Amino acid sequence: MRVLFYRVYQAIMRLVTGLVKWKDAEVIEGQNSILKIPALLVKVGYNKVLLVTDKGITALGLTAPLLSGLEKAGITCHVYDETIPNPTIDNIEEALKIYKKNGCQAIIAFGGGSPMDCAKGVGARVARPNMTIPQMRGLLKVMKKIPLLIAVPTTAGTGSETTIAAVISNPLTHEKYAVNDFHLVPKYAVLDPLITVGLPPHITATTGMDALTHAVEAYVGRSNTEETRQAARKAVKLIHDNLYTAYVDGGNLTARSNMLTAAFYAGIAFTKAYVGYVHAIAHTLGGYYRIPHGLANAVILPYVLDYYGETAHQPLAELADLIGISDESDSTAVRAGKFIAWIREMNASMNIPTKLGGFQAADLPGMIHNALKEANPLYPVPKILFADDLGGLYALIQ
Ligand SMILES: NC(=O)c1ccc[n+]([C@@H]2O[C@H](COP(=O)([O-])OP(=O)(O)OC[C@H]3O[C@@H](n4cnc5c(N)ncnc54)[C@H](O)[C@@H]3O)[C@@H](O)[C@H]2O)c1
Ligand SMILES: [Fe+2]
């Protein structure tokens, strides 16, 4: 009965998503493309902007060329760089204060998913000053235009530069949840490979596997459209062809550029076709133990795909064909198995562990509850899972 209700809910969501046409972020790409940002602001007559980033990025000087370009264009830029990985409500409120105090007119999100989501949270709070972030949790609670948002991803992973989501953590309750609204899709996504060349190998690997997880979870889900299928396939192929190169040869601009494109397309795929239990579980590990999002996804992905069994064989077999690792004589199950094995090989080749240890037994019921709350009934997963299934999965990954 519950399964039937979930499937009906998902069918309705699929219909609604198909009816609402929202605009993807407009891509500005190529080496030094961040230097095109000042002109975008001048064009709309803005001269005060908030830039949201994190300490790691400012310490590396990655924002410096943009800041000097903004200054030359007569734009005052106020920087908030206290965002932490798995950004919090406090991060958003602190950045919002700077935005308001200085009468900012636009927001530049400069960083990985954490600063980008923090910036989206600021945008949501500007649009809805009387609503708190927890009140905007879930689907379509913002429903109002946010200030001009320009996203500059410095990792090739989350796709936040074109998704409807801002993923926020509440350290007090250990919850990590999404605010989802079409209005949170940035106006521009600036994909500049030069600012990703210094991304350390381990973060390159885990954020790249996050992008792969987006594409794969979207592709095996039931809410696929031709558009999301194509976007997911494009992302998987680019990740297959470029992630390992970016990992071993960080200065390879072609690989870096292709990974930014991959993460962007994976973002398009999952923001319209959803993710699945991999993300639901990963978010609980971020909420309880601050385990980095990409690392959690990379480890969990093969376990969940195995667990889906034959319900996911067909799409996984197609992905195996796409990256050229299947033989004509292979059955669908064998081809799917080869794709899951390839994910495990990718993880191993980039020193990503096979387990994430150290969960407290006392935390498990809360984590299972939160994961199910996130995934059911929203995610159109190939196989609907319940508490016992998730208990088994948590046991496998630790
Ligand atoms: N909104 C969405 O659609 C969406 C999708 C997936 C994940 N997320 C969220 O995004 C967050 C994770 O983002 P992330 O994986 O990009 O990591 P992150 O933004 O947390 O950054 C991780 C670390 O990498 C460093 N870093 C980033 N770019 C760098 C660069 N170019 N060079 C050197 N160091 C750099 C940062 O300083 C930080 O220490 C999580 O909170 C996750 O839940 C959001
Ligand atoms: Fe993700």
Cα 211 versus chain centre, distance: 7
Q: Whose CA is nearest to atom 34 of ligand 1?
A: 199
| Cα–Cα distance, 323 to 236 (Å, whole number) | 8
- pLDDT values of the chain reduced to their tens digit, one per residue, 398 residues: 899 999 999 999 888 888 888 899 999 999 999 999 999 999 999 999 999 999 999 999 999 999 999 999 999 999 999 999 989 999 999 999 999 999 999 999 999 999 999 999 999 999 999 999 999 999 999 999 999 999 999 999 999 999 999 999 998 898 889 999 999 999 999 999 999 999 999 999 999 999 999 999 999 999 999 999 999 999 999 999 999 999 999 999 999 999 999 999 999 999 999 999 999 999 999 999 999 999 999 999 999 999 999 999 999 999 999 999 999 999 999 999 999 999 999 999 999 999 998 899 999 999 999 999 999 999 999 999 999 999 999 999 99
Q: Of 149, 156, 141, 152, which Cα lies nearest the Cα of 210? A: 156
Q: Whose CA is nearest to atom 25 of ligand 1?
A: 56
* Backbone conformation region of residue 45, classed left if phi is above 0, alpha if psi is from -120 to 50, else beta: left
Q: Whose CA is nearest to atom 42 of ligand 1?
A: 293
**Gap from CA of 114 to ligand 1 centroid (Å):** 5
| Cα–Cα distance, 298 to 347 (Å, whole number) | 7
Is the minimum distance from the CB of 117 to ligand 1 under 6 angstroms?
yes
| Cα–Cα distance, 36 to 39 (Å, whole number) | 6
* Cα four-point dihedral sign 178, 262, 211, 92: negative
Q: What is the CATH number of domain 21-196?
A: 3.40.50.1970
Q: Extract the tokens encoding 209.
A: 């596997």
Long-range interactions of 57-63: CB distance < 8 A, separation 24+: 57/81, 57/110, 57/111, 57/115, 57/154, 60/198, 62/110, 62/154, 62/195, 62/198, 63/110
| Cα–Cα distance, 287 to 194 (Å, whole number) | 31
Domain ranges of the chain: 21-196, 201-397
**Gap from CA of 232 to ligand 1 centroid (Å):** 20
**Gap from CA of 310 to ligand 1 centroid (Å):** 33
CATH of 201-397 given 3.20.20.100, 1.20.1090.10, 2.70.70.10, 3.30.70.660: 1.20.1090.10
In contact, 178 and 167? CB cutoff 8 Å: yes
Is the minimum distance from the CB of 86 to ligand 1 under 6 angstroms?
yes
Is the minimum distance from the CB of 195 to ligand 1 under 6 angstroms?
yes
Is the minimum distance from the CB of 366 to ligand 1 under 6 angstroms?
no
Which is the closest atom of ligand 1 to the Cα of 115?
19
